[in-house]
Amino acid sequence: MQNKRSGSLTLVPYYVWIALFVIAPIILVGYYSLLDLEGNFTFENYKNFLTPVYLKMTLSSFWYAFLITLFCLVVSYPAAFIISRLKNKQLWLMLIIIPSWINLLLKTYAFIGILGQSGPINAFLSAIGLEKQQMLFTSASFVFVSVYIFIPFMILPIFNSIDKLSPALLDASRDLGASRLYTLRRVMIPLTMDGIKAGIQAVFIPALSLFMITRLIAGNHVITLGTAIEQQFLVTQNWGMGSTIAVFLIIFMFIIMAFTGEKRKKGASRRDKN
Amino acid sequence: MKNLVKAIIAIAVVCAALMYLVNSLDKTSSQGGTDILTVYNWGEYIDPALLKKFEKETGIQVIYETFDSNEAMITKVDQGGTNYDIAIPSEYTIEQMKQKDLLLPVDHSKIPNLKNIDEDFLDLDFDKKNEYSIPYFWGTVGIVYNPKMLKKDLDFTSWDQLWDPSLKGEVLLVDSAREVMGMSLNSMNLSLNSTDSTELNKATDKLIKLSPNVKAVIGDEVTQLMVNGDAPAALTWSGQAADMMYDNEDLTYSVPNEGSNLWFDNMVIPKTSKNVEGAHKFINFMLDPENAAQNADYVGYSTPNKAALKLLDPEVIHDERYYPSAEVRKNLHVYKDLGKEKIGEYNELFLKFKMSLQ
Question: Tell me, what's the pLDDT at B3?
Answer: 87
SS3 content of chain A, % helix, strand, coil (to 5): 80, 0, 20
Instruction: Please name the residues between 68 and 87 in chain B that touch chain A, using a CB distance below 8 Å.
Output: 71
Q: Does B111 map to a domain?
A: yes
Query: Would B21 be classed as within a structural domain?
Result: no
Looking at the structure, tell me whether residues B132 and B147 fall in a common domain: no
**Number of CB atoms found within 10 A of residue B155's CB:** 13
Same domain, B271 and B254: no
| Domain of residue B119, residue span | 29-136+265-323
Per-residue confidence band for A37, with pLDDT thresholds at 50, 70 and 90: confident
What are the distances in angstroms from CA B139 to CA B134, B142, B261, B265? Answer: 15, 10, 8, 9
- List the single residue in A136, A220, A237 with the smallest CB-CB distance to B175: A220
Facing B358 at nearest CB: one of A136, A215, A221: A221
Same domain, B255 and B279: no
- The answer to whether position B23 is within a domain reads no
Any B CB within 8 A of A231 CB: yes
Given this model, what pLDDT does residue A264 score? 47
Average pLDDT, chain A: 87
Q: Are residues B77 and B186 in the same domain?
A: no
Range from A14-23, A259-268, B97-106, B185-194 carrying the lowest mean pLDDT: A259-268
What pTM, to 2 d.p., does this model score?
0.81
Average pLDDT of the residues of chain B: 89
Residues 140-169 of A with CB under 8 A from B: none
Q: Does any domain span residue B22?
A: no
User: B221 with B280, same domain?
Assistant: no
In the annotated binding site of B for spermidine, the residues are: 44, 92
User: Residue B291's pLDDT is what?
Assistant: 94
Note whether residue B13 is domain-resident.
no
Q: Domains plus CATH for chain A?
A: 62-260 (1.10.3720.10)
Same domain, B253 and B214: yes
Give the pLDDT of residue B269.
95
8-state DSSP, A98: G
pLDDT band at residue B202 under the 50/70/90 scheme: very high
Each residue's pLDDT tens digit, B17-33: 999 988 877 665 544 44
Give domain status of residue B9, yes or no.
no
Answer yes or no: do A231 and B343 touch at CB < 8 A.
no
In angstroms, the CA A82 to CA A259 distance is: 28
The verdict on B154 and B121 lying in the same domain is no
Q: What is the CATH number of the domain that holds B316?
A: 3.40.190.10
Q: Are residues B86 and B148 in the same domain?
A: no
Distance CA B32, CA A25 (A): 37
- pLDDT classification of B45: cutoffs 50, 70, 90: confident
DSSP B106: P
Residue B282: inside a domain:
yes
B215 touches chain A (CB under 8 A): yes
Is residue B252 located within the same domain as residue B315?
no
Q: Are residues B311 and B258 in the same domain?
A: no
B76 and B36 in a single domain? The answer is yes
Phi-psi region at A261: left, alpha or beta (left = phi > 0; alpha = psi -120 to 50)? alpha
Same domain, B90 and B42: yes
Instruction: Label residue B67 left, alpha or beta by phi (over 0 means left) and psi (-120 to 50 means alpha).
Output: beta
Candidates A235, A237, A244: best to mutate against B (most CBs of B within 10 A) is A235
- pLDDT value for A1: 47
Contact B217, A227 (CB under 8 A): no
Written as one string, the DSSP assignment of A107-171 is HHHHHHHHHSTTSHHHHHHHHTTPPP---TTSHHHHHHHHHHHHHHHHHHHHHHHHHHS-HHHHH
Give residue-wise pLDDT tens across range A72-88: 999 999 999 999 989 89
Residue B183 lies inside a defined structural domain of this protein: yes
Q: What is the pLDDT of residue B30?
A: 47
Number of structural domains found in chain B:
2
- The two counts, helices (H) then strands (E), for chain B are 14, 11
Average pLDDT over residues B71-78: 80
